[in-house]
Amino acid sequence: SQTIHQWPATLVQPVGSPLSLECTVEGTSNPNLYWYRQAAGRGLQLLFYSVGIGQISSEVPQNLSASRPQDRQFILSSKKLLLSDSGFYLCAWTGSLNYGYTFGSGTRLTVV
Amino acid sequence: EDQVTQSPEALRLQEGESSSLNCSYTVSGLRGLFWYRQDPGKGPEFLFTLYSAGEEKEKERLKATLTKKESFLHITAPKPEDSATYLCAVHANAGGTSYGKLTFGQGTILTVHP
């Protein structure tokens, strides 16, 4: 069966520090991968998606970047965090959209 | 641009009090409408996919329906464990191509009191 792992679960980082969030998928190959951000009391906003290794598309201009160094690994990064980067970050994958996305457990990022 | 609006923002029910959540959408070429449940501090959990107007799907106390403009999530005789945020999302054609992007609504926070 397919599983998705996302870590860390919580993170408190100072403004200006770097960020690296990792997401891995098991039990499938060539998945579509997504990074979403959920601000408090709001819906999910798509940040990046990837349809293959090294293929990254950005949905909104921002202080963040994404990379896919391996088929089932998706990384969200920042060189210098801003206060506005705080939020709940969710990684998701899909093979067939008949079942929608499968989400990871999320990372609560607080930038202080 | 695809838009999804959910109402109400929050709903409080007594245990056993049935009700419905609404999801209105404006898209160019609906390919699928999804319902998710999200518990606090966790990732959303998939509930249903609906593809065409008139379609219905059920799971325990939940039933999802779809029209050309909106979807309803009906909750029959809810229990406290049904308390969660319910998210609606659409997958639509984007200029004839699709990379699986889902556009989400803001969610409805459901609280069921015993």
**pLDDT mean values, one per 10 residues, chain A (112 residues):** 90 97 92 90 87 89 90 96 94 79 94 96
**How is A27-46 classified by DSSP, letter by letter?**
S-SS-EEEEEEE-TTS-EEE
Q: Does the distance separating the beta carbons of B43 and A105 come in below 8 Å?
A: yes
**Residue among A84, A64, A88, A61 at smallest CA distance from A75:** A64
Question: Could you report the per-residue pLDDT of B79-93, keeping only the tens digit for each?
Answer: 999 999 999 999 887
Q: How many alpha carbons lie under 13 Å from residue B81 in its C-beta half-sphere? A: 3
pLDDT grade for B71, boundaries at 50, 70 and 90: very high
Q: What percent of chain B has pLDDT over 70?
A: 95
Nearest residue of B to residue A91, measured between CA atoms:
B43
Report, as an integer, the average pLDDT of B38-59: 94
CA max distance for chain B: 48
Instruction: Give me the residue from B49, B100, B104 closest to A44, CB to CB.
Output: B104
**Mean pLDDT estimate for chain B:** 92
Q: Does the distance separating the beta carbons of A102 and B46 come in below 8 Å?
A: yes
pLDDT at res. A40:
76
pLDDT at res. A23:
96
pLDDT at res. B98:
53
> Three-state SS across A32-85?
EEEEEEECCCCCEEEEEEEEECCEEEECCCCCCEEEEEECCEEEEEECCCCHHH
Q: Which residues in chain B are contacts of A51 at CB distance < 8 A?
A: 99
Tokens 């109400």 — which residue? B8
Q: Which residues in chain B are contacts of A101 at CB distance < 8 A?
A: 34, 44, 46, 100, 102
Identity of the amino acid at A25: V
pLDDT grade for B2, boundaries at 50, 70 and 90: confident
Q: Look at residue B96 and tell me whether its pLDDT is greater than 60.
A: no
Report, as an integer, the average pLDDT of B1-23: 96
pLDDT at res. B92:
83
Q: Does the distance separating the beta carbons of B44 and A97 come in below 8 Å?
A: no
Q: Does the distance separating the beta carbons of B104 and A94 come in below 8 Å?
A: no
Chain A closest-CA separation from residue B88 CA (Å): 9
pLDDT at res. B15:
97
Q: Look at residue B97 and tell me whether its pLDDT is greater than 60.
A: no
Size of interface A-B (CB pairs under 8 A): 63
Q: How far is CA A92 from the centre of its chain?
A: 7
